[in-house]
Structure 1
Amino acid sequence: MTVDASGIVLSHNAQAAVLLARVAVGATLGEVAPAWLIEAHLRRVSGALEERSAWADGRIGAHRVKALAVPGVDGAVTWWLVGDSAPASAASAVSAAQELERERVRAGLLQGLSSELLASLDVDRCTALTVRRAARHLADAAVVVGTGDGRSFPVTRCTTDGPVVQERLALDPGQLPGLAEALQGLPAVSSRWIDPREVPSWAVPEGFAGDVARCVTAIADATAPALVGTFVGRVLVSCVDGEWHSLPARLVSEVLRLRGWRVDYLGAQVPTEHLVAHARRTRAQAVLLSSSIPTLLPGAHNAINSCQGAGLPVLAGGAAFGPQGRYARLMQAEWAKDAPDAATLLGRHLRPSGAHAARLPELDLPHLADQEYTMVRRTKLQLVKRTLADVEERFPETRHYSEYQLERTVEDIDFVVSHLATALYVDDPDLFTRFITWTADVLAARGVPPRCLLPALDSLLNQLKDFPRAVGILTAARDLLIPPPPHPD
């Protein structure tokens, strides 16, 4: 099971699913793992667990389990879980050791490449590093063809022991299966073996000899131009920092490409400083921001302000921005309800923002001057701890919860406080009441009465009694959970 530095599960195999019944890609470690494994992951990410092969152990259900941490790229960690019921034969042990060694080599390769690429934002240098690594570790030679102007293309070539050669060549991409489509921004095709005699000379690095088959993989360029002719313009599509729901942004990217735009798709969880730097370097005409998680709205606001301060118009989209995009407009951004709407808005030639567009959040959201949002955000940990203690006092049976049940309870309270803080940020009680209604429905589906949320809301009301807006928001949510009195006959 591979988990990133923030605790999101990136991948898992069938064996992990046997031990962790709730494991799923995109889930948080807190949702699927026991406390001892969560603590081990935090220690590994923070550097407290420094050994290259670091073991942690504990119980998962009826099994005694050992977990081996293997470092990965960008702080990710692959945890190999070995249960007490696993085969203990010598052959199995050797197989496991070989698999772990392969994972260490793979992680080292990816970590090294990641470090080298992050050290430079120059496209040519990054391409050269990629080709060099591929020729040393993945094949006898490597060639990368970049996007061109239709007549010539940048080509980077390298053999295992030879130098990296970068030049611009007049070539026909149709000579390699799938390459022409990839250079036009279409989805990648599967790797395929082709006859060495059919490989064009420009695709063979100088000095490379031998009658061997070539494996050609066409990979779609995330910054590829539009499909035909001269593109309409260039835009950047990205998720806000912390947002891992990347599919909506990807769909928007593909629709815009089909409508003639050159699109730089940056993907999920993009730090704001990287977003602005890329937009400036590529001279993008607009930035499209996607977010599905409401609690990321303060970060989204920061990204909007930063982009506008750099002179870039911003289009926002996604469920996080509320019904009809009310929060996007609150933050002075245009709102697109879907991909076709985004294309329509871009077609109106959005006016670039001037340097005066850089501003503090309080200028868009004057209610932040009362400091309620700031105080709730800064004291979140204390609020969660105090609320948990009050819930245990109101419901003594919670003191006998299993480790898993207690973790879920803490997680639920944390979500409540996070959404309360966000509702204070945008000054909208509806954001919080929508979340409470959704949570009540989830609890009801689990067979838990929604009124169980009342002690948590009551505790927060008591702790925040001196904050009028917070009291109003919590009271509105509490009223939703109290059934109306029966009608007198």
Structure 2
Amino acid sequence: MQRLDPAPEVLEEYEAAVAASDRPRVVALVDKMLDDGMAPLSVLTDVVATSQRVIGQRWQRGEWSVAQEHAATAMAMAATEVVARRAAEVPVTCGHVIVTCAEREWHWLPAAIIGCVLRTAGWQTTPLGPATSPLRLSQYIQDVGPEAVAISCSVLGSIPTTRRFIEASTSAGVPVVVGGPALGGDAVRAAALGATAWAADAVGALEAMDALPVVVSPVSPLPEAPAQEQGALELAHADLVDRVIRQWSVTADEASGPEQTALRAVARDAVPQTLHAVSAALLTGDPRPVSETALWTGELLAHRGVEVGPAIEEMGRVLGATLLDYPLSTGLISEHFRLG
């Protein structure tokens, strides 16, 4: 597999163009990288994806706004499209794969990168885009008869809908490769959801595609009690979020000023993420999303001047009281929603 890692100055120049939202410069830089012999895989993983991780860290530290992050993602999509145009010239030598994100998953860039990498390796790809419905996926499976479905899952809130995609795919006998930050750094969550294979990154996706079986059986039902409680949490999600926001002092504080307003916005984003983490833990049997989300929330607050320990402890108490009618969820919060 050809790789040519970018020189530090190349990556710095690309990141500067992205930060400036200079689309023509981004496109020209990526064209030059490819013309100079850098492998498409390296452009996508060592330049585009690496830069996006840096941008995410800047947002988490409070150095960049949400608007800046979204603008940078648009630049990354422009860079990916340059590689995709070149990839379209590669002869199809493998099978057909549908590349998609499940409902509630709007982060299309990781899936676009995976689809582009697969196309450069000779796979025919059909991208369905972000937030696709199970019905639409089923229709495409019926229409194109793919050898596989590749699903990108970046946020914990799309874990339940990713499971529905796995059900739709395997019920048609089609194997499923999944990956993304919401599925963690190993195959535990993917296996619990019934995926045929898990991929840590683009290289892993290529390897997983080559090892897939021709046909698979429908996935088994999830354990009944946690699946039922997760369904109840999903129905009550908006109300539960509102109750936590009104009771947690970090989000309930109405102090004025731009810094306080920005803090409240970030903290209020953390509340639904925490409830999504509980849902993910229920469906996968893996409690790590809960503890990981506590740590993530703590880092967000710390970079914005909040005393983290008391804030997270209070949030845990509020969550426990709010989820009192959900015993499995309450247990997860009590045992795993902590910083250490």
TM-score (norm 1): 0.48
Alignment of 1:456-471 (within 5 A): 456-471=315-330
Maintained 8 Å contact 2:102/2:131: yes
Question: Which residue of 1 is the match for residue 332 of structure 2?
Answer: 473
**Within 1, Cα distance between the matches of 2:301 and 2:326?**
28
Question: Which residue of 1 is the match for residue 206 of structure 2?
Answer: 343
TM-superposed deviation, 1:187: 5.7
Label 1:469 to 1:221 Cα distance change in 2 as closer, same or farther (>3 A): same
Label 1:221 to 1:372 Cα distance change in 2 as closer, same or farther (>3 A): same
**Within 1, Cα distance between the matches of 2:66 and 2:149?**
36
Higher strand share: 1
Question: Which residue of 2 is the match for residue 326 of structure 1?
Answer: 188
**Within 2, Cα distance between the matches of 1:270 and 1:396?**
32
Per-residue CA distance 1:137-182 (angstroms, 9 max, x = gap): xxxxxxxxxxxxxxxxxxxxxxxxxxxxxxxxxxxxxxxxxxxxxx
**Within 2, Cα distance between the matches of 1:423 and 1:476?**
12
Amino acid corresponding to residue 464 of structure 1 in structure 2:
L
Matched, 1:372 2:232: no
**Within 1, Cα distance between the matches of 2:208 and 2:248?**
49
**Within 2, Cα distance between the matches of 1:467 and 1:397?**
23
Amino acid corresponding to residue 262 of structure 1 in structure 2:
Q
Question: Which residue of 1 is the match for residue 47 of structure 2?
Answer: none
Per-residue CA distance 1:244-290 (angstroms, 9 max, x = gap): 32232222223222322222223322222222212221121111111
Which secondary structure state, in structure 2, belongs to the residue aligned with residue 446 of structure 1?
Answer: coil
Per-residue CA distance 1:108-150 (angstroms, 9 max, x = gap): xxxxxxxxxxxxxxxxxxxxxxxxxxxxxxxxxxxxxxxxxxx
Higher normalized contact order (CA 8 Å, seq sep 6+, divided by chain length): 2
Question: Which residue of 1 is the match for residue 245 of structure 2?
Answer: 388
Label 1:448 to 1:352 Cα distance change in 2 as closer, same or farther (>3 A): same
**Within 1, Cα distance between the matches of 2:272 and 2:81?**
39
Q: Report the aligned-residue RMSD.
A: 3.4
**Within 2, Cα distance between the matches of 1:319 and 1:396?**
26
Question: Which residue of 2 is the match for residue 272 of structure 1?
Answer: 134
Amino acid corresponding to residue 137 of structure 2 in structure 1:
L
Pick from 12, 21, 26 the counterpart of residue 70 of structure 2.
26
Per-residue CA distance 1:58-93 (angstroms, 9 max, x = gap): xxxxxxxxxxxxxxxxxxxxxxxxxxxxxxxxxxxx
Amino acid corresponding to residue 469 of structure 1 in structure 2:
L
Maintained 8 Å contact 1:325/1:335: yes
Question: Which residue of 2 is the match for residue 216 of structure 1?
Answer: none
Amino acid corresponding to residue 317 of structure 2 in structure 1:
D
TM-superposed deviation, 1:409: 4.2
**Within 1, Cα distance between the matches of 2:319 and 2:276?**
12
Maintained 8 Å contact 2:163/2:194: no
Which secondary structure state, in structure 2, belongs to the residue aligned with residue 422 of structure 1?
Answer: helix
Amino acid corresponding to residue 279 of structure 1 in structure 2:
I
Which secondary structure state, in structure 2, belongs to the residue aligned with residue 266 of structure 1?
Answer: strand
Label 1:464 to 1:241 Cα distance change in 2 as closer, same or farther (>3 A): closer
Label 1:242 to 1:462 Cα distance change in 2 as closer, same or farther (>3 A): closer
**Within 1, Cα distance between the matches of 2:271 and 2:95?**
46
Label 1:409 to 1:344 Cα distance change in 2 as closer, same or farther (>3 A): closer
TM-superposed deviation, 1:408: 4.3
Label 1:374 to 1:448 Cα distance change in 2 as closer, same or farther (>3 A): same
Maintained 8 Å contact 1:367/1:427: no
Pick from 255, 259, 277 the counterpart of residue 400 of structure 1.
255
Query: Any gaps of 5 or more consecutive residues in structure 2?
Result: 1-20, 23-64, 72-79
TM-superposed deviation, 1:407: 4.5
Pick from 274, 295, 305 the counterpart of residue 416 of structure 1.
274
Label 1:340 to 1:390 Cα distance change in 2 as closer, same or farther (>3 A): closer
Pick from 272, 287, 292 the counterpart of residue 149 of structure 2.
287
Which secondary structure state, in structure 2, belongs to the residue aligned with residue 480 of structure 1?
Answer: coil
Question: Which residue of 2 is the match for residue 141 of structure 1?
Answer: none
Which secondary structure state, in structure 2, belongs to the residue aligned with residue 471 of structure 1?
Answer: helix
Per-residue CA distance 1:168-205 (angstroms, 9 max, x = gap): xxxxxxxxxxxxxxxxxx9669xxxxxxxxxxxxxxxx
TM-superposed deviation, 1:478: 4.6
**Within 2, Cα distance between the matches of 1:397 and 1:272?**
37
Pick from 99, 106, 109 the counterpart of residue 244 of structure 1.
106
Label 1:317 to 1:221 Cα distance change in 2 as closer, same or farther (>3 A): same
Which secondary structure state, in structure 1, belongs to the residue aligned with residue 70 of structure 2?
Answer: coil
Question: Which residue of 2 is the match for residue 138 of structure 1?
Answer: none
Matched, 1:445 2:303: yes
**Within 2, Cα distance between the matches of 1:318 and 1:397?**
32
Label 1:221 to 1:264 Cα distance change in 2 as closer, same or farther (>3 A): farther
Alignment of 1:3-152 (within 5 A): 23-24=67-68, 26=70
Matched, 1:258 2:120: yes
TM-score (norm 2): 0.67
Amino acid corresponding to residue 339 of structure 1 in structure 2:
A
